[in-house]
Amino acid sequence: MQDLTGRRPVVTDTHPSLLDRTMEAAARATPEPLATTVRGLSDRMVAWIFIAPTILLLLAINIFPLIWTIRLSFTNYRANRPNEAVKDIGLSNYARILTDSDTWMAMQTTAHFVLWTIVLQTLIGFTLAYLIDRKFRGHAVWTTIILVPMMLSPAVVGNFWRFLYEPQIGLFAYIVSFFTGIPPTEILMLSNVTLAPWAIVIVDTWMWTPYVMLICLAGLRSIPDYIYEAAEVDRASNWRQFWSITLPMALPFIMLAVLFRGIENFKMFDMVNLLTGGGPGSTTEVASITLKREAFEKWRTGFSSAFAIILFVAVFGLANIYVKVLNRVKSR
Amino acid sequence: MKSALKVTLGMAAALAATTAMTGVSQAEDLTLCWAAWDPANALVELSKDFTAQTGIGMKFEFVPWTNYADRFLNELNSKGKLCDLIIGDSQWIGGSAENGHYVKLNDFFDKEGIKMSDFVDATVVGYSQWPKNTPNYWALPAMGDVVGWTYRKDWFTKPELQKEFKEKYGWDLDAPKTFEQLKQVAEFFQNREIDGKKVYGASIYTERGSEGVTMGVMDVLYSFGFKYENPDKPYEMEGFVNSDKSVKGLEFYKALYDCCTPPGASNSYMGEGVDAFKSGQVAMHMNFAFTWPGLQKDEAVGGDKVGFFANPAGPDGEQFAQLGGQGISVVSYSDKQESALKYIKWFADKDVQAKWWSLGGFSCLKAVVEDPKFPDSQPYAKTFLDSMAIVKDFWAEPSYASLLQASQKRFHDYVVAGQGTAKEALDGLVKDWTEVFEDDGKM
């Protein structure tokens, strides 16, 4: 009996094991022509055969659309006018986007969201992870409770918070009113231009802080106990242990969480769309909302393709720089 | 054995017949696409008669208003065969005609003796013609609609409120005839306690995502003297869109939003307006006429408690209202165009149109709406007639979506977010719209 690579299996026991018997049965069941064909293939070829479907799928659903988007970004194509001639307009779309004040406003709004959500989620997430890592009584229950928001669908969270923020019947307005004395009907979280951006930051922080906590917790749990034991022997204070052991060793994990949340929040759409739809006015119109409006409401397909490429390059470039910094931190 | 064979043959024959019948039925079934709202339910009921008469089954694809345009414009742009018949929004007519989505109906109308002069003129221009005011028909007027107002008649008739109002404003508390009066009424009710509950002046359109704030603002601007373009020079907008009168109209809308709407009503459209009125929050409510039958029937605020009035006049006495509603078209990508045309012929019939009105649809056939009994047929019928006589519509150009998005942004930025001035908002709108028409090669 030969295996698929043409070698005879090594038999070490007179009573074949279950695995041996299964392999033997599989070899017998393999049709002769296929066995012969496979026998003639190199390892590299077999590997290619296995990964080819995945590569083809990636090409079809990732690479081809990307190349097609790049191509469209140099045209005046509109998906709602199939009968109109498509003209090449060079870099006009890119020039228009980069000189358009509304686009820059959307980018600034996005940057504010990314900054504040990351700052809050990292601070609160790491603090929660640090507390949960103390392994107090009932910490498993608390961990589960804290993780619940992350498990909900963004559509559910968006609608749920829209009702919570409702000035006439919403719980949020009543709680704030209870502590501040301001009438609930004056707490217009989604209608006030100053409060609306913060309303979205609060919801995103509520939902995604557990995710940051989880990654930070993994980082904290990976620090070996003997390092703390050695620090105890050296009579290092808790504060000193935190600054010299905990934070530096958990830093790559924190940075990883920041990277994930940064990329996600740069693309933030669902929450903003559900809570404010970009309003009041354009105060919460992040880049992804602008992109959706250009692509699927104004139907400026060429223009929106150029905008999508600019966003892609921005996220990809920033993420690459960040990963390099992250690797440097890890190698220290 | 013989009987077993008979049974087997019988079952096989029955199975074959069922399969064949199913095939026939599927081939004949028509799919009609529209928005998911009350009139759609009335149409389902009405269409049962069509199936009974012709044997052609009807299937319906109804999508909520918030996704209606996205969903069906995607379907048409991708040349999809989902819809055989579509009741598309009035603003789609230009794009759908120029891009070949709809079947041109002139020959069909001539052959079947369907005359557009039998339908309310404004609905023919609004829902059927492209280019506007030319005899090129792409749809049959199906659902007349217009923005108007409902008010709480039971509150307006409270003697103590009438007395107080008269003392304060010097005229009898009643359905307002001008926008100035409307604002006074709204101010009067704002934050007032009625039956132990705090109430507010008016619910108006402020929605940002689709078309809400534009429909609301335009509804007011028309009566203040706004014009889309120079009547003698198409697409020339400077001095018309941003005229002094338009600026005053936009300032009025913002003032109305600031003074007299419920707290947090910064993203309110048809559904939110109905909710505000039904829950007894507001004294007046701006909305399309299609909401009126539902409000009239409502147990809490309907019956004698609700009244209806047409859009009030502006400062110079001009009185217009924003057109809503849709026409029904045959989709050019459908394989069942013949059956779809049969449906349109059936729908154009006078008796069908009369039943359409009685079920809650808004007929556009003159024979129905000009019937002497029509104004008394429903409490809101006269207001509907009065409103349909003063309609104006938004751009119906192929680029209407870009034009609409520009106005959504400019109006919401000014009215709700309070950014800039009314003049700046309208100047910006002229700039945006000019850019769109330049892109289209029309300027």
Co-location of B118 and B200 in the same domain: no
Q: Is B413 on the interface with A (CB under 8 A)?
A: yes
Tell me, yes or no, whether A140 lies in a domain.
Answer: yes
Tell me, yes or no, whether A15 lies in a domain.
Answer: no
Q: Which two tokens stand for residue B353?
A: 């149109």
Residue type, B87: I
Residue A307 — very low, low, confident or very high, per pLDDT cuts 50/70/90? very high
Q: Which two tokens stand for residue A204?
A: 């995103």
- Give B262's contacts in chain A (Cβ within 8 Å): 168
190-209 of A, contacting B, C-beta below 8 A: 190-191, 193
Q: Is B414 on the interface with A (CB under 8 A)?
A: yes
Q: Which two tokens stand for residue B309?
A: 């009035």
Tell me, yes or no, whether B151 lies in a domain.
Answer: yes
Co-location of B368 and B276 in the same domain: no
Strands B282-288 and B197-203: parallel
When CB atoms are compared, the residue of B74, B99, B264 closest to A167 is B264
- Give A281's contacts in chain B (Cβ within 8 Å): 208, 409, 412-414, 416-419
Rg (CA), chain B: 24
> Chain A: residue nearest B435 by CA?
A96
Tell me, yes or no, whether A86 lies in a domain.
Answer: no
C-alpha–C-alpha distance, residues B318 and B310, integer Å? 13
Co-location of B305 and B357 in the same domain: no
Over 60: is that where the pLDDT of A5 sits? no
In the prediction, which pLDDT does A41 show? 81
Q: Is A159 on the interface with B (CB under 8 A)?
A: no
CA distance, residue B426 to nearest chain A CA (Å): 15
In the prediction, which pLDDT does A84 show? 81
CATH of the domain at B95: 3.40.190.10
CA distance, residue B170 to nearest chain A CA (Å): 31
In the prediction, which pLDDT does A35 show? 53
In the prediction, which pLDDT does B25 show? 44
Tell me, yes or no, whether B275 lies in a domain.
Answer: yes
Q: Among B340, B355, B381, which residue terminates a domain?
A: B381
Co-location of B156 and B301 in the same domain: yes
Tell me, yes or no, whether B13 lies in a domain.
Answer: no
Over 90: is that where the pLDDT of A32 sits? no
Which residues is B202 bridged to in the sheet?
A: B284
Q: Which two tokens stand for residue B213?
A: 């704030």
In the prediction, which pLDDT does A43 show? 85
Tell me, yes or no, whether A233 lies in a domain.
Answer: yes
Q: Is A188 on the interface with B (CB under 8 A)?
A: yes
C-alpha–C-alpha distance, residues B406 and B429, integer Å? 7
Co-location of B280 and B410 in the same domain: yes
Co-location of B48 and B151 in the same domain: no
B271 phi/psi in degrees, rounded to 5: -65, -45
Query: What single DSSP character describes residue A10?
Result: P
* Number of C-beta neighbours around residue B61 at 10 A: 16
In the prediction, which pLDDT does A244 show? 94
Tell me, yes or no, whether A118 lies in a domain.
Answer: yes
Its domain, for residue B201, covers 147-322+399-439
When CB atoms are compared, the residue of A82, A277, A281 closest to B419 is A281
CA distance, residue B12 to nearest chain A CA (Å): 41
Query: What single DSSP character describes residue A246?
Result: I
Residue A37 — very low, low, confident or very high, per pLDDT cuts 50/70/90? low
Q: Is B25 on the interface with A (CB under 8 A)?
A: no
Tell me, yes or no, whether B414 lies in a domain.
Answer: yes
Tell me, yes or no, whether B187 lies in a domain.
Answer: yes
Tell me, yes or no, whether A251 lies in a domain.
Answer: yes
Ramachandran category for residue B239: left, alpha or beta (phi over 0 → left; psi -120 to 50 → alpha): left
In the prediction, which pLDDT does A15 show? 59
Co-location of B91 and B54 in the same domain: yes
Tell me, yes or no, whether A222 lies in a domain.
Answer: yes
Its domain, for residue A200, covers 94-331
Mention every residue, 6+ apart, whose C-beta is less than 8 A from residue A281: A193, B208, B409, B412, B413, B414, B416, B417, B418, B419
ipTM of the complex: 0.77
Tell me, yes or no, whether A76 lies in a domain.
Answer: no
Tell me, yes or no, whether B374 lies in a domain.
Answer: yes
Task: Please list the ranges in chain B whose pLDDT falls under 50.
Answer: 1-5, 7-9, 13-26
Q: Which of A168-172, A206-210, A326-330, B162-166 has the lowest mean pLDDT?
A: A326-330
Whether the CB-CB separation of A89 and A76 falls below 8 Å is answered with: yes
CA distance, residue B406 to nearest chain A CA (Å): 9
Co-location of B302 and B157 in the same domain: yes
How many domains does chain B contain in total? Answer: 2
Where in B57-139 does DSSP place strands (E)?
Answer: 58-63, 85-89
Whether the CB-CB separation of B204 and B261 falls below 8 Å is answered with: yes
- Give B413's contacts in chain A (Cβ within 8 Å): 281-282
Co-location of B165 and B313 in the same domain: yes
Pick among A89, A297, A303 to test the B interface (most B CBs inside 10 A) = A297
163-182 of A, contacting B, C-beta below 8 A: 165-168
- Give A193's contacts in chain B (Cβ within 8 Å): 417-419
CATH of the domain at A213: 1.10.3720.10
Q: Which two tokens stand for residue A66?
A: 């990307």
In the prediction, which pLDDT does A80 show? 80
Tell me, yes or no, whether B22 lies in a domain.
Answer: no
Q: Among B338, B354, B381, which residue terminates a domain?
A: B381
Whether the CB-CB separation of B390 and B318 falls below 8 Å is answered with: no
Sheet with B58-63, strands from edge to edge, namely B58-63, B30-35, B85-89, B326-330, B140-143
Co-location of B131 and B160 in the same domain: no
CA distance, residue B15 to nearest chain A CA (Å): 41
Residue type, B287: N
By percentage, how much of chain A surpasses pLDDT 90? 71
Q: Is B197 on the interface with A (CB under 8 A)?
A: no
How many domains does chain A contain in total? Answer: 1
When CB atoms are compared, the residue of A166, A283, A300 closest to B264 is A166
Tell me, yes or no, whether B48 lies in a domain.
Answer: yes
